[in-house]
Structures are given as C-alpha cells and as structure tokens.
Amino acid sequence: MGNVKLTIRTTISFLLFICIYGFNFSVTAESSDRQAVNASTDSRHQVTFIRDSDDACTQCHKDSKETRQGTHGEKTALKLGRDLKCVECHNTVGPNHRENASQVTKYSAAQSQIGTHKTLLDFDAILKATDNCTECHTPERLQEKTWVHDVHAKKATCSSCHVIHADGEKEGMQALERKAQIAQCVDCHKDFNLNQEGKGD
C-alpha cells in the first residue's frame, strides 16, 4: 500500500508542477498579447457620450454649431480640454423657450451712449452682459491685447465689435486691417456727435 500511496503522491505533485509550469507560460503569453493590443488601439476604450447635449439646440439652430468654430472652436477646446456647449454661454434656457426666447442669454450689440441705430443699455446691464465672456477673456488679458478694451468695458458689449458666431474665419474687428479698425472708432464716435448736435437744434 505504501508504494501505491507514494505513486499517487508523486503523480499529483508531478501534475501540479506541470499545471503551474503551463499556467506560467499561458499568463506571460496572454499579458504580452494584451499590451500589444493596448498600444495599437488606445482610443478604443475611451468612453464618449453617445448623446450630444447640443442636439436639442441644433435641431432648430442648424448652423450655429458650425459658425461657432471660427471663434470658439478647436483652440478653445484645446485650452479647456473639452468642447464648448451651447448652454455654457446661452444659459437660462426656459421651459417656454420655443414660444418665447426672451429667457435665454443673448449676446447682441449694445452701448451706453445714444447712437442712431444702436441698442442702449446702462453700465450695469453691459457689465452683466459681458460677465460670461470676461470669465475666460479676463480683463488683464484683454488689456494686454489692446487698451481699447479698457475704455469700452462699461460702454459697449463684446458683440458690438466682435462676431462670436463667425462663419468659418474670424469676422468683425479682428478680421479688419488697422485702418479699417480706426474707421470703426470714427463711425461710432461721429455718430454720437451727430446725435448730440441733432438734440441741440
């Protein structure tokens, strides 16, 4: 009996050894395989949202997403690490949005001095309107770009000079040559004079 026991024990230990040895091989083979796969198709496992949160907006505002690319497109996405969504600027979309869009934050041209064809807003309203823009485009950075930003901080909304939904390329002030930019100053400020003179008469 002793011999049989010994044989069984030896066989078991032999089998165990083979199992462990074999497993060892298979593990190394598998892990090296997986690494190779990971390296080649890294993006395969990145999770993206299937549902576009801007989908509801672009159903009606069809071109808005494309026209934004020129000004708040790839560069902005790179800096933020994500793409901008409609509601980040146009917030407070109300439940009655389709009937009456007054609740949505809009960015339109407005100024604090009476012009012939311009919307008039007071200082506080203008500051409130540019609040969202100045969060990223900080006053310091704006001043660095040009001093003109400083003197218009309370006097005109960003959209008075800039086109936020530009069609592909940059539009508005940034697309102009220096001379045409000066012409823009002249246009508005001459307008004030004419208006004041008209009042005096």
Partner 1 sequence: MACSRRNLLLGAGAVIFTTGVSKVAFGKKSLVATQEDGDKRYGMVFDETACIGCTACTDACRETNNVPEGVSRLTIERSAPMGEYPDVDYTFTRVSCQHCDNAPCVTVCPTGASYVDLKTGIVDVHSDKCVGCGYCLAACPYKVRFFHPETKSADKCNFCRDTNLKAGKLPACVESCPTKALTFGDLNDPTSEINKVIASNAVYRSKVELGTEPKLYKVADTKGEIKR
Query: What φ, ψ does residue 6 adopt, rounded to 5°?
Result: -65, -45
By CB under 8 A, residue 180 contacts partner 1: no
Supply the minimum distance, in Å, between the C-beta of residue 190 and partner 1: 4
Q: Is the dihedral of CA 127, 131, 137, 141 positive or negative?
A: positive
Q: What is the CA radius of gyration of the chain?
A: 33
**Pattern 63-82, partner 1, x by CB under 8 A:** --------------------
What are the start-end ranges of the H helices in the chain? Answer: 2-40, 55-60, 64-72, 74-80, 86-89, 123-136, 139-145, 148-151, 178-200
Closest CA to 108 of 95, 119, 116: 119
Kindly tell me which residue out of 47, 193, 199, 200 binds partner 1, with binding defined by CB under 8 A.
Answer: 193
Q: Is the dihedral of CA 96, 98, 101, 106 positive or negative?
A: positive
Instruction: Between 67 and 130, name the residue whose CB sits nearer to partner 1.
Output: 130
By CB under 8 A, residue 94 contacts partner 1: no
Q: Contact region for partner 1 (CB under 8 A) — 23-31, 109-117, 158-166, 177-185?
A: 177-185
The footprint of partner 1 on residues 126-165 (CB under 8 A) is: 127, 139, 143, 147, 150-151, 153-154
Give me the residues that bind partner 1 (CB under 8 A), please.
Answer: 127, 139, 143, 147, 150-151, 153-154, 179, 182-183, 185-187, 189-190, 192-193
